[in-house]
Structure 1
C-alpha cells in the first residue's frame, strides 16, 4: 500500500455550486438521474445494489486489494455511527445504477468515502455532478469541510477534486 496518501479538503463555505451545475444539467439532459439513497429508500435491496456498484468501481483504485465481503461492508458502511443515507448519491441511467458518491458525517467535517462511476459512463462529468449534488448533505450536516484522500497514482480522482476546489490538507 502507498505510504503517502494525497489528503484533500474543501471549505464548504467557499464552494460555489453554480460553477459545477453544468455537470448536473448535462446529466439530466442525457437522462441520468441523481438521487440520494434516502430518497430511493434505504432498503436491503438498495444496500446490496450499492455494495455491488461500490465493489465494481473500487476495482480501479490503485493497490485497493480485495474488496470487503458484503457482511463486512454492511458493518463498515451502514452500521457506522457516521452513516446517513442522505449522504449517499446515486447516479442512474433508467433503473441502472451507474455511479455513487458516498459521504459520512463526522461533526465538523464530512468525509467523502468513495466516488465512482462504471467504466462505460466515465469521462462525462458524472462524478462532479454527484459530488456537487451531494454538497447539499454537507451543508445540512453543518460541517465546515469535506475531506477525502487518494492513492497518489489515482491522478484522475485527485485532479477532479482539485478542479472542484479541494486543496492539500494534513487532516
Structure 2
C-alpha cells in the first residue's frame, strides 16, 4: 500500500491565505475558535484530549485499522524532535474540541500529519480554516513546502488539499 499513497505538496510562497479568509470568517461566525496547543497549554490533559480527538477523526480514514494506544500515540506524536505544540491547531466550539490540524517542521519543509473534524461539525469549512490558520506556524519555521499524504480512497481530504493548492509531489 505504501507506494499507492497520494503524496501532495504545497508551495508556501504561492499560498494565498486571502482566498480562504471566508472559511475562517464563517467559522468565527458559527462560534468556532481556532487556537494552538501551545496557546491552550501543552498539558497532560490537553494531550489526552488531542489523542481522543485524533482517534475519533482517524476512524474514517480508509484502511486505518486499530488506532494507537495512548502510550504509543504519545511516543509517536509528542516524544519526537519535530513535535512543536505551536503546530497543532485546535478548533473549539465553546470548550468542546471539534477539530485538529497537526503540522511538524522538518527543516525546509513542514509535514501535515493529520487534519480531522468530528462528524458533528463537518461541512462547515473547519478543516480549511485550521490549515489556513496553521500556515503561520509553517512560515515561522521557514519551510518552503508543506507535504502530506493520503490513502487514495480518502477523497474528501485529497480534494480539500487540492482546493488549498496542493499538487502531486515529485519524489
TM-score range, shorter chain: over 0.9
Residues 6-56 of structure 1 show CA distances to partners (whole Å, capped at 9, x for unaligned) of 000000000010000111110000100000000000000000000000000
Counterpart for residue 9 of structure 1? 9
Match of 1:56 in 2: 56
What are the equivalent positions in structure 2 for 1:99-118 lying under 5 Å apart?
A: 99-118=99-118
Q: Give, in angstroms, the shift of residue 152 of structure 1.
A: 0.3
Q: Check the 8 A contact 1:8/1:166 in 2, yes or no.
A: yes
Correspondence for 1:130: 130
For residues 50-83 of structure 1, the C-alpha deviation after alignment (integer angstroms, 9 at most, x for no partner) is 0000000000000001000000100000011000
* TM-score normalised by length of structure 1: 0.98
Correspondences of 1:147-158 after superposition (within 5 Å): 147-158=147-158
Query: Aligned pairs, how many?
Result: 171
Q: TM-score, normalised by structure 2?
A: 0.98
Give every structure 1 segment of 4 or more consecutive aligned residues whose post-TM-superposition deviation is greater than 2 Å.
Answer: none
State the partner residue of 1:91. Answer: 91
The correspondence of residues 36-51 of structure 1 with structure 2, limited to 5 A, is 36-51=36-51
Unaligned runs of 5+ in 2: none
The Cα shift of 1:159 comes to 0.3
Distance 2:66 2:170 in 1: 27
